[in-house]
Amino acid sequence: MRPSCRLLLSSLALCAASVPVMSAFADPAPVIAVNREIGLSMTGTFRNSVSGYNSHMTEQDTSSHSGFTEESASSSRYRTIGWTPGFQVDASIMFNAFGMENLYGALHFSLEDGQRNYKSRYRAYSNLSAPYGFSAGGNDSSNGTDNRGEIGKGFLLLSNSFLLTPFIQGGYTTSSSNGDFGYGYGLYFAGAGLKTDYALTSRLVLRGRFGWAEVLNSGISYNKQPRPLWEGGLGVDCRMTRRLHLTAGGDYSYISYGRNRNAETSMGLEHSYSYSDISSGLTNGLKLHAGLAWQF
């Protein structure tokens, strides 16, 4: 029996020694694995941008020579709408360091380039001249990039099948002068958000993202004040092989530039003048993407 006992003890010792080695090579939880990827996707981006401007002016000569009064007003509207193709590159990592688990970092770059439809309208009215106006429309070039980074920390829940990751974000976005206005022209933004990953199976993970950021120098706003940018997205990550994943999803963004008001008034002994204007605008967009990612 002694040889048998010795053999049994030796086998147990070998198994115990091999546990750390096996765990080192074991695959991470699916919700962790999808945050250790680098991927390339094709994209299609629908964007709708609308702006408006209205002004009113009153000028009065109160001298005894003429006594005329001039009133004038103008209004303009501009809109771009349509789809543009493009691509995006995503890289993310989740690791343990400094005594903390599931630290998160990510980089994102996307480019869109194509044509969108635009429509513009201008109208002017005055009591001293005939009304004037024109309209225009057609297709014009529209392109832009989105460059951003995220850092955060993940929290595993529900027996490691659900991952909640709050993060902070910052980046730089550009767009062409003929395309989207406001959220573009080369602007910086900074904010925070929340990511969620839920493993339906060991191969299929549902992904969600909600973000907020302040766009610094909001472009179309005459007062140049920061404006909030809201984002939301849903996606799926399907493991095809041990390393190769299929990814797909959609992301929505919205920014409103508010209503900016300006007013001027001057009074003199023989002349009075008043002027006011209101500008407003918004941009919303939907980006659909599908591609492949490599888990490392």
DSSP labels, 203-244: SEEEEEEEEEEEESS-SS-TT---EEEEEEEEEEEEESSSSE
Range 255-271 average pLDDT: 79
Average pLDDT over residues 146-156: 96
Q: How far apart are CA 184 and CA 252, in angstroms?
A: 16
Q: Calculate mean pLDDT across residues 36-41.
A: 98
Mean of pLDDT values over 253-281:
83
> At 216, is the pLDDT very low, low, confident or very high (cuts 50, 70, 90)?
confident
DSSP-assigned letter for residue 99: T
101-139 confidence digits (pLDDT tens): 999 999 999 999 999 998 999 999 888 888 889 899 888
Type and span of the H or E element at 132: strand 129-153
Our CA dihedral for 73, 276, 266, 59, rounded to 10 degrees, sits at: 10
Fold of the CATH domain 30-295:
Lipocalin (2.40.128)
Judge whether residue 93 has pLDDT over 80. Answer: yes
Quick one: what percent of the chain has pLDDT higher than 90? 55
The per-residue pLDDT for 17 is 46
Domain positions in the chain are: 30-295
Q: Do 60 and 115 touch, CB atoms closer than 8 A?
A: no
